[in-house]
Amino acid sequence: MAVKQFLKCSVCGKEFEEAVKTVCDECFGPLKVQVNLEQAKEKLTKSVLAQRTQSFWRYFELLPLNDKKNIVDIGTTVTPLVKAERLGKILGLNNLYVKNDAVLPTYSFKDRPVTVGASKAVEFGYSVFSCASTGNLAASTAAHAAKAGLQCYVFVAGNIEESKIASIAGYGPTIISVEGIYDVANRLANEAADKYGWAVMNVNVRPYYQEGEKTLSFETCEQLEWKKPDAVVVPVGSGSLLYEIWKGFEEFEEIGFVGKEKVRFYAAQGKGASPLVDAVKSGGAIKPYKEVHTIAKSIAMGAPGDGDAAIGIIRETKGGGESPSDEEILEGIRLLAQTEGILTEPAGGTTIAALKKLAEQGAFDANETVVAYVTGNGLKTVDAIPKAKRVNIKPRIEEVDAIVGKR
């Protein structure tokens, strides 16, 4: 079979040829990309991977792009999987790892989906990139548009941090700040995609864009020496990241790179914007929020677009979820920074705070391998961090003596 990838309805299973298409003709279910795994399995072996560089695109055979010449790459690489020994000790976990995506080129994990969405958009012949964003996606989309030499319009939720706007503006896109929450900006981006013929990363090229997220689990397995973890904690906005991490583990299993062990999935959302975690706890359906209130703004969405898929995975794997308060999120940021030397934004603080709550509830055995996904950099949201304390002195060593308690 020659095709490298096709689209598949996530509800009824009907298959379609690759196209710019997001919903099923039969049942209106969301379409997902499926890469031809039989083909990938023949070309991509562990020894082939061992010879490749640490570029994101080392998994080319498992990504939905036909021609490497269309790749738009700003230098996205494999990120560190850090053994979190000091944090683990505090939480009673002997095998805790932090997957640190705060180090990617635009400082969040969004560079993974966007390098795929942007490359696919080039392959489809688009000449304008766009997105609807809580901040991180806009920065990444704008950076990739710059690299491709294309125009870029980004829609952002009116409530996002000033420091995030500044980090987007540097790449030179037109920033359209939409009054209201993310969900409203997203609706407008949907209309724009049709009306102006733009490639909107998380709208009309979404099935391709999402595929980039599964590389997080590919890397995790390779870094754990070809093993899956026992449990993962994932920050959730739309639920796409959680779904794709699961899909990545499934695909690695299918091509024979890892075994059949099941991974338990735990979701982290900020209290005040936690429709998915609420449903996990209640056992019922997802009830959307009309307003969202949390400092974890990059994952603050009222209605999670991939929520049903995400909740299905959490239930099936017997995982769970937690929704820490703003205070707990800030404590999560401090805890990670002061035990592991990793400064994350509130979304990452939410992951660590949820991990802490779950560990305290006994969700994990002490020796299980647990991976916490830290998805964004703290320097992007300095205004979310409470005013820093410092000691002011005159330039005299005696004043330093007083601070360190020496004379």
Ligand X SMILES: *Cc1c(COP(=O)(O)O)cnc(C)c1O
**DSSP string for 261-281:** ---EEEEE--TTS-HHHHHHH
The item of Zn ion, ligand X, none sharing an interface with residue 241, based on CB under 5 to 8 Å by kind, is: ligand X
Q: Is 29 among the residues that bind Zn ion (CB under 5 A)?
A: yes
Residues that bind ligand X (CB under 6 A): 108, 110, 136, 235-241, 298-299, 347, 375-376
* CB 371 within 8 Å of CB 99: yes
Distances (CA, A) of 242 to 142, 239, 261, 293, 366: 24, 5, 18, 22, 23
Which of 11, 78, 169, 337 touches Zn ion by CB under 5 A? 11
- Least Cα distance to 298 among 134, 98, 126, 175 occurs for 134
Does 26 bind Zn ion (CB under 5 A)? Our answer is yes
Q: Indicate the residue among 49 and 337 with the shorter CB distance to ligand X.
A: 337
Burial of 380 (0-12, 13-18, 19+ CB in 10 A): buried
The nearer residue to ligand X, 44 or 178, going by C-beta atoms, is: 178
Report the partner that residue 63 touches, choosing among Zn ion, ligand X, none (CB closer than 5 to 8 A by kind).
none
Task: For ligand X, give the closer residue by CB, 4 or 297.
Answer: 297
Largest CA distance in the chain: 80
Q: Rank residues 9 and 234 by Cβ distance to Zn ion and give the closer one.
A: 9
Partner from Zn ion, ligand X, none binding residue 27, C-beta < 5-8 Å depending on class: Zn ion
Closest separation in Å from C-beta 16 to ligand X = 23
Residue with tokens 């979701």: 267
Binding partner of residue 12 among ligand X, Zn ion, none, CB cut-off 5 to 8 Å per kind: Zn ion
Give the SS3 label for residue 347: helix
Beta pairing partners, 266 = 233, 320
With CB under 5 A as the contact rule, the residue among 3, 19, 27, 285 that binds Zn ion is: 27
Which residues ranging from 278 to 307 are in contact with Zn ion (CB under 5 A)?
Answer: none
Q: Where are the alpha helices (DSSP H) in 26-75?
A: 37-43, 46-50
Least CB distance to ligand X at residue 377 (A): 9
